[in-house]
Structure 1
Amino acid sequence: MAKEIKTALARSRSTIVGDAVGAVSLVVMLFVGLSLPGLI
């Protein structure tokens, strides 16, 4: 089972990296959006 997980991760590495970048950008936009009312 561990070997199957390793091969699946190796085959979809670029997709996982792209999804991680998208998730981080959504979290950053959330925090920026929530902090904007406090700045005004």
Structure 2
Amino acid sequence: MIRQIAALARRSRGTLVEDLAGVAALTILLLGALHLPGLA
């Protein structure tokens, strides 16, 4: 099973990086939106 996961990660490395960048962007947006009410 570990080999299958490693092979999957190798095959989809490009999309995995893009997905991680998307998750990071969404997290930053969410945290920013949650802090907006405190600024007013």
Q: TM-score, normalised by structure 2?
A: 0.83
Q: Point out where structure 2 has 5 or more consecutive residues left out of the alignment.
A: none
State, as a whole percentage, how many aligned pairs show the same letter: 40
Gaps of at least 5 residues in structure 1 are: none
**Of the two structures, which has the highest relative contact order with CA contacts closer than 8 Å and spacing of 6 or more?**
2
* Length-normalised TM-score, structure 1: 0.83
How large is the RMSD of aligned CA atoms in angstroms? 0.9
Whole-angstrom distance in 2 between the partners of 1:5 and 1:38:
43
